[in-house]
Structure 1
Amino acid sequence: MTKIWTNSGDSHFLEPDDLWQSRLPKRLADLCPRSEKDPDGEYETVYVDGQIFRRKLPSSAMVAFAELSSKPQGVRDARARLGDLDTEGVWGEVIFPSLGMWASTFRTPELLKACMRASNEWALEEIAAVSPRYVVTAQVSTLVVEDAIEELQWAADHSYKAVFLPTTPHPSAPDWHRKEWEPFWAAAEEAGMVIAFHIGTDPVDVEAGNSATGGAGQVYRGPGGAIMNYAETTFSGQRAAMKMVASGALDRHPDLKVLISEGGATWVPFLGDRLLEGYRQHHLAVRPKLSRNPKEILFSQVYASFQHDETAVAAFDHMGYRNVMFGSDYPHMEGTFGHTQDTLKTLFDGVSDETRLRITQGTFFELFPDVPPVPAESI
């Protein structure tokens, strides 16, 4: 069968473990995350930004996950990665960091600001420079709004097209729907920078290994816990989208685009209906008033990537939501690496070419028009 070529709105790269330590002055490098495992291998001690945590090491299932994540050579080698993508039929892709997931545990603004700059400089040199097919997400501090704006502007000046944000900012910072972030949204709109939220990135209590808002870690224990914890991660992306719409941030910045990666797409029509109902039925209590209805804002400015969800295609075909985007989640175990073509052929069996091309390519190119098109002979 003919290969179905797609772009991906979600993938990951593993940076060198010592990236921050190797690029920062010693006084800051000594505060960067590091861990020491107990001799029996059951627990480890984590040191990060002057804090010390003890935590039980991952279960065998998580170890298997980590091993799987490190197997494809392209997860650490941007040149080898192109071979993986060509085999899978993935052309352009949005690439999220790995070390950046530690950001919510930092408490020193100078340290976080320096780490984000080090990551951004490294990603330009080692990933973005390799191929124009890569859309690398810039990282910014969420401890201080002014630091975030400064780094976003630096990233835009260095050809970044997207900025990665956790679904909830650092606990000491205001949440995304608060007015303090308004200058940041304005700066992102002016720079043409896509805001890329990735699910499961709410701040995590390193010691407890969980998140109060269900972003990552272990929220549920007992029967069904593994499935419930996996489902729980998607909700953080929905909350982020809701905050951006209901607060008026997207209404005030109609050219600002938001990508919610890895959380599916069918939730968007549901959330649009729910927001519209709340806005209409409780209008006397609603602040701020919006110039457009919340469902229209959500549908026009929020993009959503999925990997296996059969209903995501129906969201485009039957629910009026056009900003549906496929994402491979390379190389994670819940992603499609190793079976991307089988997944795509199942998803688009009997589906029109218009729908398939919109979801696999058109939505991505709408957000990132600078990525070269898929070669005509490959389509």
Structure 2
Amino acid sequence: MDKIWVNSGDSHLLEPADLWTSRLPAHLADRAPRSERGDRHETIYVDNVIQRRALNDFLDSFRPPGAYDLTLRLADMDAEGIWGQLVFPSMGFWTVLITDRELAAASVRAYNDWCREEIMNGSPRIVGAAILSMASTEDAVAEIERVAGMGFQCVFLPTVVADGKEYAQDHWEPVWAAAEAANLTIAFHIGTGSDAKAFRGPGAAVINYVETTFPGMRVVTHLVAAGVLDRHPRLRILIAEGGASWVPALADRMDEGYRQHGNWALPKLSALPSELIYRQVYTSFQHDVSAVPAVTAMGYRNVMWGDDYPHLEGTYGHTQKTLRELFQDVPDEVRHTITLDTFRKLFTVPDRVEA
């Protein structure tokens, strides 16, 4: 059968082990993100913070051929029917924990330079999400302006931030203004900025997996209720890998709060929360069967599909099977919206040419 060709709104890079140690000056390199693997555990060091996680041989054996090699990655994409990819870091997610300003600025520059030089320069089908310093708003703004000049179309921020630095706070206003001015989408990837193990007990594996989605909803709530999207109508945000069907429900809940508690709702918005959400909030999913009815039955059209390559939760090896199950008996127009067109609203990749 002919392939269903798609663009992926959620994919990842696996950085080389020496990315930061080889690119940073000696006085910073030992505190930059690095990983040491033992027989049973991996230890991650970031700015003198230590994180340990158990190793699973299955995870290593699962890695697709192109996990670390761009040429093989493109071959995997062609085989799976993936045309364009928005790519997030993997190890680079840990940079959001860095509190030292000099180290944070140098670490994000090193990743972004590598992503531009080694990945994006290698193929226009790859759209890199640049990472930003969380240690300094001023440095984050400077990096937004720098990566925009390098051809990036997107920047990443974590869904969880420190207490007192929530995205509703004025602290972030220069970042929103800079991203809007540079026409960069801000992508918030779920499961970032905090310990992934929120619960240790019966059912923890599933509970913790679900827990990663809630902060993405909180990001939308803050940016809408605090008036960020209203003040910046050209700013587009993406909640990556968190599904889509929750968006209409959240929009309804926010509208109710804004109407029923209008006397206390400040700032006043120029439109209902739901209108701002449907205008400026985008989402990506990979397996969720509820995401398609979010478009067809609930009218939320800013939905894109993602393969999560090369992570375990992704669709490598069964992408076409997954797509056919998702879009069986779905109108072509809706399928094109989710698989190709929503991605192109945010990102530019070359047109696919039939062989």
TM-score (norm 2): 0.95
Change (3 A) 1:265 1:36: closer
User: In the alignment, which residue of structure 2 is the partner of 1:65?
Assistant: 59
Change (3 A) 1:59 1:27: closer
1:67-146, aligned counterparts within 5 Å?
A: 67-68=61-62, 71-146=63-138
Cα separation, 1, equivalents of 2:159 and 2:248 = 19
Cα separation, 1, equivalents of 2:74 and 2:202 = 41
- Give the C-alpha shift of residue 223 in structure 1: 2.3
The equivalent position to 2:318 in structure 1, one of 336, 339, 343, is 339
Cα separation, 1, equivalents of 2:314 and 2:239 = 16
Change (3 A) 1:59 1:159: closer
The equivalent position to 2:46 in structure 1, one of 32, 42, 48, is 48
User: In the alignment, which residue of structure 2 is the partner of 1:4?
Assistant: 4
CA contact (8 A) 1:168 1:176 kept: no
CA contact (8 A) 1:202 1:236 kept: no
CA contact (8 A) 1:43 1:54 kept: no
Change (3 A) 1:35 1:77: closer
Secondary structure (helix, strand or coil) at the match of 2:352 reads coil
Cα separation, 1, equivalents of 2:206 and 2:174 = 39
User: In the alignment, which residue of structure 2 is the partner of 1:374?
Assistant: 352
Change (3 A) 1:37 1:316: closer
When structure 1 is superposed on structure 2, of 145-154 and 219-228 the one drifting more is: 219-228
2:157 paired with 1:159? no
- Give the C-alpha shift of residue 249 in structure 1: 0.7
CA contact (8 A) 2:230 2:269 kept: yes
User: In the alignment, which residue of structure 2 is the partner of 1:235?
Assistant: 214
RMSD: 1.8
Change (3 A) 1:44 1:137: closer
The equivalent position to 1:290 in structure 2, one of 256, 269, 279, is 269
User: In the alignment, which residue of structure 2 is the partner of 1:202?
Assistant: 193
Percent of pairs with identical residues:
52
User: In the alignment, which residue of structure 2 is the partner of 1:178?
Assistant: 169
Change (3 A) 1:280 1:121: same
Secondary structure (helix, strand or coil) at the match of 2:54 reads coil
Cα deviation 1:202-225 (Å, max 9, x = unaligned): 23xxxxxx3xxxxx2x12223222
Cα separation, 2, equivalents of 1:46 and 1:4 = 38
Cα separation, 2, equivalents of 1:318 and 1:185 = 32
User: In the alignment, which residue of structure 2 is the partner of 1:305?
Assistant: 284
Change (3 A) 1:173 1:103: farther
**Equivalent AA in structure 2 for residue 299 of structure 1:** Y
User: In the alignment, which residue of structure 1 is the partner of 2:19?
Assistant: 19
Cα separation, 1, equivalents of 2:277 and 2:258 = 13
Change (3 A) 1:172 1:148: farther
Secondary structure (helix, strand or coil) at the match of 1:289 reads coil
- Give the C-alpha shift of residue 227 in structure 1: 1.1
Secondary structure (helix, strand or coil) at the match of 1:138 reads strand
Secondary structure (helix, strand or coil) at the match of 2:31 reads coil
Cα separation, 2, equivalents of 1:178 and 1:142 = 14
Cα separation, 1, equivalents of 2:101 and 2:312 = 34
Cα separation, 2, equivalents of 1:286 and 1:104 = 31
Secondary structure (helix, strand or coil) at the match of 1:200 reads coil
Cα separation, 1, equivalents of 2:178 and 2:263 = 32
- Give the C-alpha shift of residue 146 in structure 1: 0.3
Change (3 A) 1:219 1:244: same
Mark the runs of 5 or more structure 1 residues left unpaired by the alignment. 204-209, 211-215
Cα separation, 2, equivalents of 1:178 and 1:33 = 28
Cα deviation 1:249-297 (Å, max 9, x = unaligned): 1111111111111000001001000111111111111111111110110
TM-score (norm 1): 0.89
User: In the alignment, which residue of structure 1 is the partner of 2:205?
Assistant: 226
CA contact (8 A) 1:262 1:307 kept: yes
Cα deviation 1:46-85 (Å, max 9, x = unaligned): 543244x474x4164xx423442xx212121112111000
CA contact (8 A) 2:33 2:92 kept: no
Cα separation, 2, equivalents of 1:342 and 1:12 = 21
Change (3 A) 1:35 1:255: closer
Secondary structure (helix, strand or coil) at the match of 1:137 reads strand
Mark the runs of 5 or more structure 2 residues left unpaired by the alignment. none
User: In the alignment, which residue of structure 2 is the partner of 1:322?
Assistant: 301
Cα separation, 2, equivalents of 1:222 and 1:338 = 32
